[in-house]
Every structure is written in C-alpha cells, then in structure tokens.
Amino acid sequence: MLDGLDGRVARLTNSQSLFGAQYDSLCDVISFGLAPAIIVFLWGLDSIGQPGWIFSFFYVAAAALRLARFNTYIGSEDSYFKGLPSPVASATVVYFVWAMSSYGIQGDEVGRILAIFTAVLTGVVSLLMVVNIPYYSFKEIELRKRVPFFSMLFVVFIFALISIDPPIILVSCAFIYVVSGPAIWAVKALRK
C-alpha cells in the first residue's frame, strides 16, 4: 500500500528526480521480487532442491522484467495493467505462505506435493507478470471526489471480512485478482 505514496509525495513536494525513480524501482525489485522469492523458497521450495532455486530465480527475474516494463509505460492512463502487477504477485505468494503457516504447515512439515504446488503457483504468478494479459488497474477510482455511502459500507464490509481470518481472506482475494486477468483476456478474445 505504501509503495504508491512515495511517487505521489515526490510530485506533491516537487522533488521528483530520475535518480529517485530508479531508486524506487530498485527498492520495488527487492520488495516485490527478491523478498517474496526468499520467503517462499525458505518456507517450502527448498525441499524440492534445485527446481526450488529455479522457480525462485524465475520469480525474481519476472518481477524485475515486470517492473522495467511498468517504468516504460509511465504516464499511461489505461485502466488496465499489462501483466500481473508485481505487488499483487508478491502478495499472492506471501499470503499463501502466511495462510499455510497459520495452519501450522511450515518448514519440514511442507510435504512434497504441497512444495510442488507452491512451485507451480510461483511459476504461474511469475509467468502472469510478464505476459500481456490485462489486469484491472483501479485507476478510475477517484478518492478525492465525494465517496458514495454504499462504497463506504463496502469498504467497512471488506475490513470486517478480512478480520475474520486475515491469511485466508487475503490469499483468496489475491487468487481472485490473479484469475481475473486471464478471465478478462478470455472474455475479450471470445468477443472478437
């Protein structure tokens, strides 16, 4: 959530620079690429050996490519991202580990089948970051304007829902968003 604030603060204070933009991208690669890859590897991918390293590396490389591509589209007002945004990919992988850990599944308890599922999940999320599948960007939501009452109720409902079981609800929301891209792509392809 805080990732989007740094650029806005820089623009508001008229202190943006090319160095700041590049430094922000480097921080994003670490936050949304390297850190989740290390977390998922140490949680379960290490149990499958070299393929675990490969899936982790593929995730970091895909996140770096996704962020580089995003930087080339700066200024685009399109209501869709091209490829899964790296913060959502990161959230999907990390929330999955959190959900499993909240049920006591971690370390040596991660079985081979779950480790393979985790590798496939990591691979799919990595691939979705670099393909040109559209993902809704929510750029059209304008928080500066007056917010309708029912929108506020919806936000309160979402927070109440998350409070029931944060790891499961958040990973479910992340999975829904991950699947939404291929679903949007399929609907658009069928209309042509």
Please state whether beta strands 80-82 and 134-136 pair in parallel, antiparallel, or not at all (unpaired).
antiparallel
- Which region, left, alpha or beta, applies to residue 110 given φ > 0 means left and ψ of -120 to 50 means alpha? beta
What pLDDT score does 135 carry?
92
pLDDT over 90 (residue 19):
no
Whole-model pTM?
A: 0.86
What is the mean predicted confidence (pLDDT) over 50-68? 96
What pLDDT score does 65 carry?
96
Measured CA to CA, the distance from residue 51 to residue 40 in angstroms comes to 13
pLDDT over 90 (residue 94):
yes
pLDDT over 90 (residue 90):
yes
Measured CA to CA, the distance from residue 15 to residue 162 in angstroms comes to 36
Q: How far is CA 182 from CA 92, 132, 135, 187, in A?
A: 16, 10, 8, 9
Which H or E element spans position 136?
Answer: strand 134-136
Residue 112: band (very low, low, confident or very high) from pLDDT cuts 50, 70, 90: confident
pLDDT over 90 (residue 119):
yes
Q: How far is CA 185 from CA 138, 179, 189, in A?
A: 17, 10, 6
What pLDDT score does 142 carry?
64
Measured CA to CA, the distance from residue 6 to residue 10 in angstroms comes to 6
Residue 57: band (very low, low, confident or very high) from pLDDT cuts 50, 70, 90: very high
Read off the pLDDT of residues 128-178 as tens digits, 9 standing for 90 and up.
999 999 998 876 666 667 777 887 888 899 999 999 999 999 999 999 999
Measured CA to CA, the distance from residue 70 to residue 121 in angstroms comes to 22
